[in-house]
Structure 1
Amino acid sequence: MIIRNAEKKDIERILEVFASAKAYMRKNGNTKQWADSYPDTETILEDIKEKQFYVMEEDNCIHGVFAFIIGEDPTYRIIENGEWKSDTLYGTIHRLASTGYTKNVFHEVMNFCLQKISHIRADTHEDNLIMQNLLLKEGFEECGIIYVRDHTPRKAYQYIKG
């Protein structure tokens, strides 16, 4: 599998990947996360412009997407019912989605991100049991609850290599 920076020309396929992931989430009981138009084209294009949005290709087709942003995430400043294990510089995985065509997508994402920085954070909706299990399987620790832009709670996780 190849991971590369997304380009504007990829936007149609990126939206298809998100649609596929949303359908899978609904089918598996996660009816609230990404229930509106999020992630929207504007957010994705901004990530592409900032060179922090990536696509995962296999057989010349995009099957996975994610944002990886190094630096402070404003939504992570306040954490409830727990605490961060470290406040060193970190990268955050956001907007991870796949078509289900390939296996071990999150493991590949982790390998990619760990080549850039050893401290990673992520969050997910309480109904997203699949993502919660993937995070724990990859060695993340649940740290508490954060609130995203629309003020809804998310389970917050942290991984520190070493």
Structure 2
Amino acid sequence: MEIIVRKTTHDDVLAAEAVLDDGRRALAQMDIPQWQGEYPNRIDVEDDIEHGRGYVAVDDEGAVLGTLAFTMDGEPTYDVIDGAWLTQSTSGAATYATIHRCAVSAAAARRGVMSALFDAVETMAREQGAASVRIDTHRANVRMRGLACKRGYTECGVITLPYEHEADPTRIAYEKVLS
């Protein structure tokens, strides 16, 4: 199966939302409280499209297999970390890219979709001059943590999300220095 990563379009909104719903269910099955409310949803997908940060992985027939948000705008939540980033950069003058809201459809799980998305993000980040890529995930999300480590990301510490709706707002933060 060929996996193509491209910008999310308005025609992808329902499929991308369904992928996020699959991700929510997978997290719930692992007893992870992350994403167990309304976030992320269609509004987030549409907002990502409007701001040019939404990406999908599709198969050779165009079916949406995975989704994520990629930005070079900096992440204010990453300005305070219990630990230390590998690169010295703040959200006000970010030299890093950020990955958010990543999920794979249940039908495409464990078929390399997220690795294809990460490959694309890392390539885009390099092309746009980023020194690194940062991501965070829930402590109990062993699949994402394992993928991050497998792909060369280093665990840098703990960040705390500023959202009241989060049952557990702490996240393990990772960074990969790009060469």
RMSD of equivalent CA atoms: 1.4
Aligned residues: 160
Residue 160 of structure 2 aligns to which amino acid in structure 1? Answer: Y
1:60-101 superposed Cα distances (whole Å, 9 cap, x missing partner): 200100000113111101001x10110250100100000141
Per the TM alignment, residue 49 of structure 1 is displaced from its structure 2 partner at its CA by 0.4
Q: Tell whether 2:102 aligns with 1:96.
A: yes
Q: In 2, distance between residues paired with 1:74 and 1:160?
A: 19
- Equivalences for residues 146-157 of structure 1 within 5 A: 146-150=159-163, 152-157=169-174
Residue 84 of structure 2 aligns to which amino acid in structure 1? Answer: E
Per the TM alignment, residue 23 of structure 1 is displaced from its structure 2 partner at its CA by 1.3
- Structure 2 residue aligned with 1:47: 48
- Structure 2 residue aligned with 1:5: 7
Unmatched 5+ residue regions in structure 1?
none
Partner residue of 1:26 out of 8, 25, 28: 28
Partner residue of 1:60 out of 59, 62, 68: 62
Residue 120 of structure 1 aligns to which amino acid in structure 2? Answer: V
Q: In 2, distance between residues paired with 1:110 and 1:17?
A: 16
Q: Tell whether 2:145 aligns with 1:132.
A: yes
- Structure 1 residue aligned with 2:92: none
Q: In 1, distance between residues paired with 2:113 and 2:162?
A: 26
- Structure 1 residue aligned with 2:114: 106
- Percent identity between matched residues is 28
Residue 66 of structure 1 aligns to which amino acid in structure 2? Answer: L
Q: In 1, distance between residues paired with 2:115 and 2:15?
A: 22
TM-score by length of 2: 0.84
Q: 2:103–2:114: 8 Å Cα contact kept in structure 1?
A: no
Residue 36 of structure 1 aligns to which amino acid in structure 2? Answer: G
Q: In 2, distance between residues paired with 1:62 and 1:159?
A: 26
TM-score by length of 1: 0.92
Q: In 2, distance between residues paired with 1:38 and 1:5?
A: 21
Q: Which moved more, 1:14-23 or 1:134-143?
A: 14-23
Per the TM alignment, residue 161 of structure 1 is displaced from its structure 2 partner at its CA by 2.1
Q: In 1, distance between residues paired with 2:160 and 2:23?
A: 22
Per the TM alignment, residue 106 of structure 1 is displaced from its structure 2 partner at its CA by 2.4
Per the TM alignment, residue 28 of structure 1 is displaced from its structure 2 partner at its CA by 2.3
Unmatched 5+ residue regions in structure 2?
90-94, 127-131
Q: In 1, distance between residues paired with 2:36 and 2:137?
A: 14
1:130 is paired with a residue of what secondary structure? helix
Q: In 2, distance between residues paired with 1:41 and 1:15?
A: 5
Per the TM alignment, residue 29 of structure 1 is displaced from its structure 2 partner at its CA by 2.8
- Structure 2 residue aligned with 1:143: 156
